[in-house]
C-alpha cells in the first residue's frame, strides 16, 4: 500500500494585500512555519507564479522549486479553477464571471474562453516543467441554470450540453496527456460536473479520457447529501487530488439544500474549518489509504465563522493527525505457520 503526502494548503483563500500574504516567499514561509509541507498554487495570481514563464522555461521552474525547497515546502499542484470556469459559461452567468479573466476581455465571452483554454494549455506545460503529476480545476457550466427540471428540460438538452463540454475539454485533456499530468475536476455546485453521475456523463463526452479525474472534496458532497465515503469506493481510480475541507448540513423547517438565498452564515449547508463540521475524515483518510492514493492532502480553507489564520494554524496538525503510515505487513503475521500446497491440502482434508 501507499501513503498520502501532506499536509498541504491551497493558497488562494489566503492571498491578500498585506504581509505575509502578498507574495509567494513570505506566504510560503508562513505556511511552512505552521507545519505545511506543500502548497497548491493559484495560477491566476501573478504574485504566486508567472504561468507563461513556467510553461516556457524549465530554468524558471527549477529556480522556483529550489526557492520553495529552501523555505521547506514544495508545490502540490497548480490550480486553474478560475480559468477552468471560463472554458464553459452560460450567458446568464457571463457578467458575474467577467472578473475571472483579464479586464480587457470583460463582456467578450468568445475571447474569454479562448484565453481560458490557452491558460489551461500553459498550465499543462508548466506542471510538466515543475515535475508535477496532477492538476486541479473546474469544468465550467453550460447546463447549471437547468439543474432543476422546471419547466421541463427540452429533450436532448443535457446530452447536447455535455457533448459541447466534452468538445471543449478534449483538446485540453490531450495536452495534459502529452505532458503526463492528470486533471482533477473539483465536483462543485455551479459546475456541470458536480457529482458522480455528471462526472460519468463528462467521461463519456471526452471518450473516457484517462487524464480526466477528480479533485475529491467531501465538503461539496455533504451539502448535496451525497454519500462521500461510498463515492471513494466507486471512483477511487479517478481520484487524482484531495481537498481537505469540512462542512455541515443542518436543515430546518424553513430551509434545506437550496439554502433560501441566504448568506453563508445563515445557510443550512455551510463550509467550516477542519474539525468544526460533520465530515468523517478518519474514514476518508482510511479509505484513500486502502485504495493506494499517494497524492497530497491539501487544506482548502473556507469557513463562514472562523478567521482564516486560525483555520490555517489548526489545519496543519489536523491533517497530520489523520495521515496514515500504511503497514507493510499483516497484524497477525506473528501467528503465521508457514504453508505450501501440500500443507494447504492437508488442512482442507484433501
**What pLDDT, in 10s, does the model give residues 220-275?**
999 999 999 999 999 999 999 999 999 999 999 999 999 999 999 999 999 999 99
Write out pLDDT tens, residues 37-69. Answer: 999 999 999 999 999 999 999 999 999 999 999
Q: Which residue has the cell 477542519?
A: 274
User: What is the tens place of the pLDDT at every residue in 115-139?
Assistant: 999 999 999 999 999 999 999 999 9
Are the C-beta atoms of residues 177 and 211 closer than 8 Å to each other? yes
Residue with cell 484433501: 350
> Which residues 6+ apart lie within 8 Å of 329 measured at CB?
none
Q: pTM, whole model, 2 decimals?
A: 0.95
Instruction: Quote the pLDDT of residue 2.
Output: 84
Average pLDDT in the 25-33 region? 98
Sign of torsion over alpha carbons 229, 283, 181, 127: positive
**CA angle, residues 262, 264, 269, in degrees to nearest 5:** 90
Reported as half-sphere exposure (CB side, CA atoms, 13 A), residue 60 has a value of 15
Residue written as cell 500446497? Answer: 341
CA angle 61, 20, 32 (to 5 degrees): 60
Report helix, strand and coil shares of the chain as percent, to nearest 5.
45, 15, 40
Q: Which pLDDT value is given to residue 203? A: 98
Q: How confident is the model at residue 93 (pLDDT cuts 50, 70, 90)?
A: very high
For the chain, give the percent of residues with pLDDT over 90.
Answer: 91
Fold for the domain defined by 5-347: TIM Barrel (3.20.20)
CB 289 within 8 A of CB 250: no
Grid cell for residue 45? 495570481
- The structural domains of the chain, with segments of one domain joined by +, span 5-347
90, 140 contact by CB (below 8 A): no
**Cell 495536452 appears where?**
175
Average pLDDT taken over every residue of the chain? 96
DSSP codes, 278-303: S--HHHHHHHHHHTT--SEEEE----
pLDDT at 212: 98
**Following DSSP, what letter does each residue of 72-108 receive, concatenated?**
T-EEEEEEEHHHHHTTSB-GGGGGGGGGGS-GGGTT-
Residues in the chain: 350
Torsion of CA 203, 208, 212, 218, to 10 degrees: 50
Residue 334 has pLDDT above 70, yes or no: no
User: Cα angle vertex 346, ends 345, 350, to 5°?
Assistant: 60
Query: How far apart are the C-alpha atoms of 48 and 186, rounded to whole Å?
Result: 21
Helical segments of the chain, H only: 24-34, 51-56, 58-71, 81-85, 109-130, 157-179, 196-205, 218-224, 228-235, 281-290, 308-322, 341-347
Residue 338 pLDDT greater than 80, yes or no: no
How far is the C-alpha of 59 from the C-alpha of 65, rounded, in Å? 10
pLDDT-derived band at 329, boundaries 50, 70, 90: confident
Residue in the block written with cell 473516457: 208
Confidence grade of residue 345 (pLDDT, cut at 50, 70, 90): confident
Helix (H) or strand (E) holding 270: strand 269-272
**What does the pLDDT look like over 1-21, one tens digit per residue?**
788 999 999 999 999 999 999
Q: How confident is the model at residue 346 (pLDDT cuts 50, 70, 90)?
A: confident
Amino acid at each position: 500500500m501507499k501513503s498520502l503526502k501532506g499536509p498541504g494548503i491551497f493558497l488562494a483563500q489566503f492571498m491578500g494585500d498585506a504581509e505575509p500574504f502578498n507574495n509567494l516567499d513570505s506566504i510560503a514561509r508562513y505556511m511552512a512555519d505552521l507545519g505545511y509541507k506543500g502548497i497548491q498554487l493559484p495560477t491566476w495570481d501573478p504574485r504566486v507564479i508567472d504561468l507563461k514563464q513556467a510553461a516556457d522555461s524549465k530554468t524558471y521552474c527549477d529556480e522556483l522549486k529550489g526557492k520553495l525547497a529552501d523555505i521547506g515546502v514544495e508545490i502540490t499542484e497548480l490550480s486553474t479553477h478560475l480559468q477552468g470556469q471560463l472554458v464553459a459559461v452560460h450567458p446568464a452567468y457571463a457578467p458575474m464571471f467577467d472578473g475571472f479573466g483579464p479586464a480587457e476581455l470583460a463582456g467578450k465571452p468568445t475571447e474569454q474562453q479562448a484565453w481560458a483554454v490557452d491558460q489551461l494549455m500553459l498550465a499543462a506545460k508548466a506542471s510538466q516543467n515543475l515535475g508535477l503529476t496532477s492538476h486541479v480545476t473546474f469544468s465550467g457550466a453550460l447546463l447549471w441554470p437547468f439543474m432543476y427540471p422546471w419547466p421541463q428540460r427540452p429533450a436532448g438538452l443535457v446530452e447536447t450540453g455535455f457533448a459541447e463540454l466534452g468538445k471543449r475539454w478534449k483538446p485540453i485533456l490531450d495536452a495534459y496527456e502529452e505532458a503526463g499530468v492528470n486533471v482533477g475536476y473539483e465536483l462543485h455546485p455551479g459546475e456541470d460536473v458536480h457529482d458522480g453521475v455528471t462526472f460519468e456523463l463528462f467521461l463519456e463526452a471526452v471518450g473516457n479520457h484517462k487524464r480526466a479525474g477528480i479533485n475529491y472534496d467531501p465538503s461539496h458532497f455533504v451539502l448535496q447529501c451525497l454519500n462521500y465515503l461510498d463515492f471513494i469506493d466507486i471512483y477511487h481510480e479517478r481520484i487524482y487530488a484531495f481537498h481537505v475541507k469540512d462542512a455541515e448540513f443542518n436543515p430546518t423547517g424553513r430551509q434545506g439544500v437550496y439554502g433560501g438565498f441566504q448568506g453563508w452564515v445563515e445557510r443550512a449547508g455551510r463550509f467550516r474549518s477542519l474539525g468544526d463540521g460533520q465530515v468523517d475524515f478518519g474514514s476518508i483518510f482510511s479509505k484513500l489509504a486502502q485504495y493506494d492514493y499517494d497524492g497530497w492532502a491539501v487544506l482548502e480553507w473556507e469557513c463562514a465563522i472562523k478567521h482564516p489564520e486560525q483555520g490555517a494554524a489548526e489545519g496543519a496538525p489536523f491533517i497530520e493527525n489523520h495521515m496514515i503510515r500504511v503497514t507493510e505487513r499483516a497484524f497477525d503475521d506473528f501467528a503465521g505457520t508457514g504453508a505450501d500446497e501440500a500443507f494447504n491440502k492437508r488442512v482442507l482434508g484433501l
